[in-house]
Amino acid sequence: MPASKRDQLLATAERLFHEQGFHATGIDRIVAAAGVVRMTLYNHFASKEALVAAVLAARHERFISSVDAAVACASPGQATLALVEAHGDWLERYSQHGCIMAKAMGEFAEHNPEIHALAAAAKTDLLARLEAAVERDGLSHQTGLARAVFLVLEGSNTAVALLGAQTALADTRAVVDTLLATARSDIR
């Protein structure tokens, strides 16, 4: 079934925003790449900012769904690692240019507090899921573990563009393995 014009615009805008940046990507570029006219865009989105917000919300929903599915299927004691693996799979498949939420936070911090807040909320949502995974793994006694893993994942968002996915994700996994091993050894 062909994608709706709205979905087509969202997918095209997401790709262009991710590759080129939000401010560097104009409406004309988006409609041309999507193969629609400008009016079609405005029939679905009141403004470029509304399009940006919709792109961020849709992307976050897809990301969180993949993370939640991985954690739900995790073996006992493996929820945090499952989340880390899901994050890595996402980076490898969809984020070769770094994190679109971090880009949005950077580009909209001064220009649009609502979009900045939407991107920041996505990061807070990931941290909350890490906290839940750490708790599910019985490691919630380890103060700051979820934040430490979060910082490693955020670093991998940037490192993947510089080091390549395989190296960045292998290094991420090694650091997280060390963090988890240390937290587990503190239990004993």
DSSP-based helix, strand, coil % in the chain, nearest 5: 80, 0, 20
**Per-residue pLDDT tens digits for 20-47:** 999 999 999 999 999 999 999 999 999 9
- Res 188 pLDDT > 70: no
Pair 93, 105: CB distance under 8 Å: no
Long-range (24+ apart) CB contacts under 8 A made by 4-9 are 5/34, 5/36, 5/40, 5/44, 6/44, 8/34, 8/35, 8/36, 9/34, 9/36, 9/40, 9/41, 9/44, 9/45, 9/51
* CATH class of this structure's domain 1-45: mainly alpha
Mean per-residue pLDDT of the chain: 94
Give residues with Cβ within 8 angstroms of 90, minimum separation 6: 63, 66, 67
* CATH class of this structure's domain 53-187: mainly alpha
**Integer CA distances (angstroms), 162 to 97, 103, 158, 165, 168, in order:** 9, 15, 7, 9, 8
Pair 12, 5: CB distance under 8 Å: no
Segment 60-79 shows an average pLDDT of 97
pTM: 0.91
**Per-residue pLDDT tens digits for 89-141:** 999 998 877 899 999 999 999 989 999 999 999 999 999 999 999 999 999 88
Structure-token pair, residue 145: 């573990």
Indicate the domain borders of the chain: 1-45, 53-187
pLDDT at 2: 53
Place of tokens 């498949």: 93
